[in-house]
Amino acid sequence: MTTTETTPGPALDAFIAALPKVELHVHLVGSASVPTVLELARRHSGATEVPREEEELRRFYTFRDFPHFARVYGAVNQLVREPEDIATLVLGLARDLAPQGGRYAELQVTPYAHHVVGLPMRAVTEALDLAARRATAEHGVEIAYIFDIPGEYGEEAARVTLDHALQEPPAALVGFGIGGIEQERPKYRDAYRKAFAAARAAGLHSVPHGGEMSGPETIWEVIEGYGAERIGHGINCLADPRLVAHLRETRLPLDVCPTSNLRTGQIARIEDHPLPRMLEEGLYVTLNSDDPPMFATTLAEEYQVAARVFGLGRAELAELAANGVRASYLAEERKRALLAEIDALTGPTEGPMDGRAG
């Protein structure tokens, strides 16, 4: 990769702002802005330990490590208690993405979290459907959904997630995933493999997290055991040259979220992030925000980080944006339209995916 036009400044800022973007790795609850979380905390006073004042909430979002982040995320999750809360989160994401050039998001939803607070599957699905329609109509942002298993909760979580995906899916459901603490997954290996097999048989794409907080073995497991078509994070692949070669040869997309990895303690400094080396190795990378308000970032800010910290210029940033479009599950005509917009800013980008992820 040849870096061009990397000097930070108004021209590059304007280019990033104008660049059409898709968000392939963002979580429903993690997308909630500070004002939205405060609204929910006040609406459901006493439901969790989530602070109801802004300064306290921002301190609450200072994470010691990934398990601490998972506990905070779970506390915020407990605030989503009514169908209206779900719709509020989806619409908040669309509202926040639109001024960043965001055109499309594959939003990761955890049905099990709504199940444990007593929300019926149909009510959750109706809220997701309504919110997706309003997101497009009111903000011009198209929403798709990925249902993910919280990986530390085992067989029941897998069953609930799969049942919801198969019995009461939202119209825009495109994928099936798994997140949470990766080190807990091996004890539920068979249940997770079976759930992914059933979801894939029903036509859902396999988009698990892997290699965020554990090593290459987790990435191999999601490839071989879950049939992964795209992987969330994957940053620890570099420890295994054979895995790097496999990812490069198969063009398996990796949804990378640099600021997330910093905030949850997976890297010590943003400068230590493996994104530049992943690109040097010829891996297929998309750029995403994960849980943006919790990590004090945005999708546009991730592009700024790529420019300021890693020295990527206009061509490389456009390539990352195009990667996201090609690796998405958008309809092909929508992909072509977005790629044409990106090309209009920079000239044609190469197409390493060859339509693989569509």
Phi and psi angles of residue 111, each rounded to the nearest 5 degrees, phi first: -55, -30
Residue count of the chain: 358
What six digits make up the tokens of 90?
């989806």
Q: Where are the beta strands (DSSP E) in the chain?
A: 21-27, 102-109, 142-150, 173-179, 205-206, 209-210, 231-233, 254-256, 285-287
111: nearest Cα among 144, 143, 77: 77
Three-state DSSP class for residue 157:
helix
**Distance, CA of 55 to CA of 111 (rounded, Å):** 30
d(CA 51, CA 59) in angstroms, rounded, equals 9
Q: How far is CA 36 from CA 53, 292, 294, 297, in A?
A: 12, 13, 12, 16
Measured distance CA(342)–CA(105) in Å, rounded: 17
Give the Cα separation of 154 and 345 in Å (integer). Answer: 46
Q: Calculate Rg over the CA atoms of the chain.
A: 19
Catalytic site includes residue 53? no
Pairwise CA distance, residues 247 & 236, whole Å: 12
List CB contacts of 101: < 8 A, sequence separation 6 or more.
17, 18, 19, 20, 21, 300
Active-site entry in 182, 212, 221, 301: 212
The DSSP line for 192-215 is HHHHHHHHHHTT-EE--EESSSS-
Token pair listed for 207 = 């988009």
The residues near 349 (Cβ < 8 Å, ≥ 6 apart) are: 315, 318, 319, 322, 339, 342, 343
The catalytic residue positions are 212
